[in-house]
Chain A
Amino acid sequence: DAGVIQSPRHEVTEMGQEVTLRCKPISGHDYLFWYRQTMMRGLELLIYFNNNVPIDDSGMPEDRFSAKMPNASFSTLKIQPSEPRDSAVYFCASSREGSLSGYTFGSGTRLTVV
């Protein structure tokens, strides 16, 4: 089992550019979560999917952020246009059977917007 795979590991981009973060969940997991981690705010849930359907996107900061899950093995988080305050580590996590089984996190994407 390769775990949750995120790409890229690091991303440096200029303000105003589009950024796309990618996640491959563990096969068979039916929940997928996107979290953002900053020093100031800690870990924040941005959005989560169940069976590829977005369930709760109330944590998405603004319309510049969008997330998709076109199939059970792939999800993207897109920021357009990016701003310096979006700099953070973005984690993807997946789980099976909701919250009962624990979550497996990816290694994260460290985004720096300059």
Chain B
Amino acid sequence: AQSVTQLDSHVSVSEGTPVLLRCNYSSSYSPSLFWYVQHPNKGLQLLLKYTSAATLVKGINGFEAEFKKSETSFHLTKPSAHMSDAAEYFCVVSRRGTSYGKLTFGQGTILTVHP
């Protein structure tokens, strides 16, 4: 079994300030973890993924996330927010290393960026 909890449903930051979107996961297996972003009326775009290599994962648009097994966390960060980062972000877990490809999504965090 696996589950994902995104700790904040809404996060609001000012442009140029750091972004932190929190995610905790639970999995009976070694997990693969992903962050997806969804802009209004758009599909989901993969930001970054952790599968088993380096625990600090760098993604697109300056985002990165750190896998912390002891804390069962996979928080998403960015040093400086841009207006174009305003969107909904989903933390996702799946079972690593098998052909069972089911993804489990968190409930999403809406990021608002103020000028």
**Interface of A with B (CB < 8 Å)?**
4, 31, 33, 42-43, 45, 48, 50, 56, 91, 93, 95, 98-100, 102-108
Residues B101 and A105 in contact, CB atoms below 8 Å apart:
no
Residues A102 and B46 in contact, CB atoms below 8 Å apart:
yes
Chain B nearest CB from A94 CB (Å) reads: 10
Number of interface residues of B (CB under 8 A): 25
Q: Which are the 10 A-B pairs with shortest beta-carbon distances?
A: A99-B94, A98-B101, A105-B44, A43-B105, A107-B43, A105-B43, A99-B101, A102-B46, A98-B99, A31-B101
| The one of B34, B43, B100, B106 that contacts A91, using a Cβ cutoff of 8 Å | B43
A45 to B100, CA, bound (A): 13
A93 to B100, CA, bound (A): 15
Residues A91 and B32 in contact, CB atoms below 8 Å apart:
no
Overall SS of chain A's interface: strand
A108 to B40, CA, bound (A): 12
Q: Does B16 lie at the interface of the complex (its beta carbon under 8 Å from any beta carbon of A)?
A: no
Collect the chain A residues with CB atoms within 8 Å of residue B105's CB.
42-43
7 A-B pairs with CB atoms under 8 Å apart are: A4-B43, A42-B107, A42-B108, A91-B43, A102-B46, A103-B34, A103-B103
Residues B99 and A45 in contact, CB atoms below 8 Å apart:
no
List 8 other contacts, CB 8 Å, given A50-B101, A100-B32, A104-B46: A31-B101, A33-B103, A42-B105, A91-B44, A93-B44, A103-B46, A103-B103, A107-B42
Q: Does B82 lie at the interface of the complex (its beta carbon under 8 Å from any beta carbon of A)?
A: no
B36, closest chain A residue (CB): A105
On whether A43 and B46 interact (CB within 8 A), knowing A33-B103, A95-B101, A100-B96, the answer reads no
Collect the chain B residues with CB atoms within 8 Å of residue A99's CB.
32, 94-96, 98, 100-103
Collect the chain B residues with CB atoms within 8 Å of residue A104's CB.
46
Chain A nearest CB from B105 CB (Å) reads: 4
